[in-house]
């Protein structure tokens, strides 16, 4: 069954816009769990414009579900992951000045580096996932790097979905099949929403986890956090 991991970066963005500790990111993470989230995702960036390294350290011992840290494995990120030992680390090749993640890894061109990083984290018992574009070659490359999972970058799926769901998901389905054939687990994330989530999970039912932040937190402004998490879980579980 596909699990819902809530990315709480946007809550930290609101806090940081004003200073202080309102809204309280740690309190929000625990509320997400209480309302049914099956994991918490954070994506600290070097400039700490949303989630801060200190947030990660504070949240880690309190999370009771699954704790997933996303980020570009620069030295400070590697040190943080080794310090807090999350359940999962997701390697994302975002530049330091990227507004949001906008591409997956080329796992062929970066094989040596990704193999080294995967080995480092797996030696600590941390499940390691590589963020990739919908391309079967990238899934095969991730397996060759020693990853446990891949996370499909679903921005194109979300953008193309209104024009035709079947065409929008075709490359994702092909890549998901390639990942499964390589023995990799499968995650997905970026711009998944109440409009497109159910179709994705129904078409690729072996998706292990979806990580959703922007759309979910935005919906929570209208529906409330508890009702929004319930709505996303309902979409995942649609038959």
Q: Which pLDDT value is given to residue 103?
A: 80
- 157: which residues sit within 8 A by CB, 6+ positions away? 134, 168, 169, 172, 191, 196, 200
**d(Cα 117, Cα 203) in Å, to the nearest integer?**
32
Longest CA span, the chain: 48
- Measure CA 140 to chain center: 20
In tens, the pLDDT along 180-191 reads 999 999 999 999
- The first and second tokens of residue 109, run together, are 């061109």
Say if CB 192 and CB 212 are below 8 A apart. yes
Residues annotated as part of the active site: 43, 70, 190
- 235: which residues sit within 8 A by CB, 6+ positions away? 194, 197, 198, 201
pTM: 0.95
Domains observed in the chain: 3-236 (3.20.20.70)
In tens, the pLDDT along 112-163 reads 999 999 999 999 999 999 999 999 999 999 999 999 999 999 999 999 999 9
């Amino acid at each position: 069954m596909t699990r819902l991991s809530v990315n709480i970066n946007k809550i930290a963005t609101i806090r940081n816009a004003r200073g202080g500790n309102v809204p309280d990111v740690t309190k929000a993470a625990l509320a997400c769990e209480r309302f049914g989230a099956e994991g918490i995702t954070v994506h600290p960036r070097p400039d700490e414009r949303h989630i801060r390294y200190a947030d990660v350290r504070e949240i880690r011992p309190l999370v009771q579900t699954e704790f997933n840290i996303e980020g570009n494995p620069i030295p400070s990120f590697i040190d943080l992951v080794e310090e807090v030992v999350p359940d999962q680390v997701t390697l994302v090749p975002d530049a330091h000045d990227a507004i949001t993640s906008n591409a997956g890894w080329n796992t062929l061109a970066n094989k040596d580096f990704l193999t080294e990083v995967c080995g480092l984290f797996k030696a600590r018992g941390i499940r390691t996932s590589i963020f990739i574009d919908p391309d079967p070659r990238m899934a095969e490359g991730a397996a060759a790097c020693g990853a446990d999972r891949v996370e499909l970058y679903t921005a194109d799926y979300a953008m193309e979905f209104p024009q035709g769901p079947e065409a929008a998901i075709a490359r994702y389905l092909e890549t998901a099949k390639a990942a499964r054939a390589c023995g990799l687990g499968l995650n997905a994330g970026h711009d998944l929403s109440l409009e497109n989530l159910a179709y994705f999970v129904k078409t690729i039912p072996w998706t292990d986890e979806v990580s959703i932040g922007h759309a979910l937190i935005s919906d929570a402004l209208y529906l409330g956090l508890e009702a929004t998490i319930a709505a996303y879980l309902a979409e995942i579980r649609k038959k």
